[in-house]
Amino acid sequence: MKWLEMIRVRAPGDGEEKVRNEISRLLRDALKNAHDVGLLDLTYFVHTSIPWDVAVHLIWDTGSPQLLGSRTGLSLAHLLQSFGLVDHSVWISKSLHENT
């Protein structure tokens, strides 16, 4: 089953380049050290009009989603709390062709 772990960070508006660089470093380190089976990709996005808002996406393919998040995602969410407010959620993939 494919699922997405999303971690959003709303950092204070000052020092946005420093914050983005530090978050990029943390994510590169996390990807190198991630040993969770089923992790397909880890990417991050920066809000178009609020450059210090960052969304991290961990894309998984496992037998079932981890309802509270993966070990890697929980660790990242904890580390990112030092930058600002964090929202960590888990989403499952649905097909438009499924009857729900």
Contact between 23 and 7 under an 8 Å Cβ cutoff? The reply is no
Chain segment 22-64, per-residue pLDDT in tens: 888 888 887 777 777 899 988 889 888 887 788 999 999 999 9
State the pTM of this model. 0.84
- What is the CATH architecture assignment of 2-92? 2-Layer Sandwich (3.30)
Task: Quickly list H helices, 1-100.
Answer: 16-33, 71-80
β-pairing, 39-46 with 53-61? antiparallel
